């Protein structure tokens, strides 16, 4: 969620020079688990561990996540309407409580102040990718092409990466990469089950490439920059959107379970020529990179009106 907020804020700053300040909030017990509609005094309910939320109020407030909702509503009131409030994702509260809501298109949220985008905002820019590729050049450049980035999610409400599915995926990926005489760039998420990660790392670690173990600087952006194509598990909205923002062919790997929302996302990516299902073969094609974060930033600036 922090990357979504920062990605949009940085994109806005490219259009309207400003200072971007990041805040993370932590609630006192029991407000972190209680329904946020009951949090009537959010400034009082903030934990001392939270970043301070206080005047002077900003011209623009961008927030994401259930925990931020009382503060997003509050800042409109505390600033006497001078702060333009943007809420990312579907807040599941009435949208008129915010100046602009930017949800993923696949949530099917509509309204006069709703601006849906494909996937989610992100921090993928040509400059960031080039910088990351340069940082990890010595480790990645010698690897044979095609270089295949493998972005592995895992367990969610709708999907699961079981040990058997992990074994099957690792075998399919290895067979395809070996057949193409390529290499892999593998990274896992916090949601990847330990046994699934162990099975996949063990099998894919035999191939030319790099299976990142979570130690040291994160090469995620370098993987996206250097990849000829990207394999991503179907559970992750962010990783699919980020791969599409990098303009790389995206092959979506099926997991156990199903989600109509994720199917709608993948349908949107297919219509934009960004993604195809992974069926055991490596495919390469080209398309214009998905620039949804920049499109959302343009809408924020447009709705804010002239600089104050």
Instruction: Return d(Cα 280, Cα 257) in angstroms, integer.
Output: 19
Q: Check pLDDT > 70 for residue 308.
A: no
Instruction: Return d(Cα 254, Cα 276) in angstroms, integer.
Output: 11
Task: Indicate the fold that domain 126-277 takes in CATH.
Answer: Rossmann fold (3.40.50)
Q: Quick one: pLDDT at residue 37?
A: 67
Q: Check pLDDT > 90 for residue 287.
A: yes
- The pLDDT tens digits of the residues spanning 237-250 come to 899 999 999 999 99
Q: Quick one: pLDDT at residue 203?
A: 96
Q: Where in the chain is the domain with CATH 3.40.50.2000?
A: 126-277
Radius of gyration of the chain (CA): 21
CB 25 within 8 A of CB 67: yes
Q: Check pLDDT > 80 for residue 38.
A: no
**At residue 199, what are phi and psi to the nearest 5 degrees?**
-65, -45
Q: Check pLDDT > 70 for residue 295.
A: yes
| pLDDT mean across residues, the chain | 93
Residues 229-243 have a mean pLDDT of 94
Q: How much of the chain is in helix, strand and coil states, percent to nearest 5?
A: 40, 15, 45
Residues 6-35 have a mean pLDDT of 89
- The pLDDT tens digits of the residues spanning 65-117 come to 888 999 999 999 999 999 999 999 999 899 999 999 999 999 999 999 999 99
- The pLDDT tens digits of the residues spanning 155-211 come to 888 899 999 999 999 999 999 999 999 999 999 998 899 999 999 999 999 999 999
Of 145, 63, 57, nearest in space to 100 by CA: 63
Q: What is the pTM of this model?
A: 0.90
Burial of 90 from C-beta contacts in 10 A (0-12 / 13-18 / 19+): middle
Helices (H), the chain: 2-15, 42-45, 69-78, 126-135, 137-140, 163-180, 194-204, 220-226, 237-245, 260-271, 292-304
Instruction: Return d(Cα 78, Cα 54) in angstroms, integer.
Output: 9
What is the pairing mode between strands 84-88 and 60-64?
parallel
Q: Quick one: pLDDT at residue 150?
A: 98
Q: Quick one: pLDDT at residue 225?
A: 98
Q: Quick one: pLDDT at residue 236?
A: 86
Q: Tokens 């009951």: give the residue.
A: 38
Instruction: Return d(Cα 293, Cα 308) in angstroms, integer.
Output: 23
Q: Quick one: pLDDT at residue 40?
A: 75
Burial of 258 from C-beta contacts in 10 A (0-12 / 13-18 / 19+): exposed
């Amino acid at each position: 969620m922090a990357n979504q907020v920062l990605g949009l804020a940085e994109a806005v700053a490219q259009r309207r020079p400003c200072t971007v300040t990041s805040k993370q909030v932590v609630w006192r017990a029991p407000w972190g688990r209680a329904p946020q509609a009951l949090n009537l005094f959010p400034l009082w309910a903030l934990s001392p561990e939270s970043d301070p939320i206080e005047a002077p109020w900003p011209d623009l407030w961008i927030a994401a996540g259930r925990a931020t909702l009382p503060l997003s509503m509050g800042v409109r009131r505390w600033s006497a309407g001078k702060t333009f409030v943007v809420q990312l994702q579907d807040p599941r509260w009435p949208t008129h409580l915010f100046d602009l809501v930017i949800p993923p298109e696949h949530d099917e949220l509509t309204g006069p102040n709703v601006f849906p985008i494909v996937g989610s905002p992100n921090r993928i820019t040509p400059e960031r990718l080039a910088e990351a590729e340069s940082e990890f050049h010595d480790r990645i450049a010698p690897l044979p092409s095609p270089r295949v980035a493998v972005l592995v999610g895992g367990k969610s409400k709708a999907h699961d990466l079981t040990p058997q599915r992990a074994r099957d995926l690792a075998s399919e990926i290895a067979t395809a990469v070996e057949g193409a005489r390529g290499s892999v760039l593998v990274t896992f998420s916090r949601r990847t089950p330990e046994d699934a990660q162990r099975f996949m790392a063990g099998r894919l670690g035999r191939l030319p490439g790099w299976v990142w173990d979570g130690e040291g600087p994160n090469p995620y952006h370098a993987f996206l920059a250097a990849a000829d194509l990207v394999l991503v598990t179907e559970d992750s909205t962010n990783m699919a959107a980020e791969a599409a923002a990098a303009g790389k062919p995206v092959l979506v790997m099926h997991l156990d379970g199903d989600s109509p929302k994720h199917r709608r996302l993948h349908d949107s990516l297919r219509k934009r020529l960004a993604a195809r299902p992974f069926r055991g073969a490596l495919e390469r094609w080209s398309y214009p990179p998905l620039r949804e974060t920049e499109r959302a930033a343009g809408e924020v600036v447009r709705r804010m009106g002239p600089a104050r």
